[in-house]
Amino acid sequence: MPMADNPAKAVILAVDDTPENLDVVKGVLGADYIIRAAINGRIALKIAEKQQPDLILLDIRMPGMDGYEVCQVLKSDPQTAGIPVVFLSGEHDDSSKAKAFELGAVDFITKPLNGSALKSCVENILG
């Protein structure tokens, strides 16, 4: 039986201020990946810097520091700049998507989350 922190498993940092959304991510991806969770941008940046996850799933609308700001900080830091970021958002307009990609996101998934789409996206990025 593999250990919970099996180094062969990729680590995903899920960032969302809504615990239910973090539960969905854990439910969909938890069997195949190690999921770390953050409920706000500041915590996410600390985790990203210390643990260097393989992928970050990032909500846009959060109190305090929004996902766009978090992405800007990640991409401006050489230590975290190479970590792929996928935005998970309730925003469905083209300008939100465009801004996400301009900031360096590799994908944009709209909420409510579709488990199979999320899983496919992550598999495409992490292999």
* CATH code matching the domain that covers 10-41+49-91, chosen among 3.30.1330.60, 3.40.50.2300, 3.40.50.720, 3.90.1010.10: 3.40.50.2300
Dump pLDDT digits (tens) for 62-106.
999 999 999 999 999 999 999 999 999 998 899 999 999 999 999
pLDDT confidence bin for 7, thresholds 50/70/90: low
* Residue 44: predicted pLDDT: 98
Q: What residue spans define the domains of the chain? A: 10-41+49-91
Q: What is the pLDDT of residue 1?
A: 39
Q: What is the pLDDT of residues 23-71, one digit of tens each?
A: 999 999 999 999 999 999 999 999 999 999 999 999 999 999 999 999 9
Comparing CA positions, the residue from 21, 16, 26 lying closest to residue 113 is: 21
Q: How far apart are the C-alpha atoms of 58 and 74, rounded to whole Å? A: 11
11 residue type, one letter: V
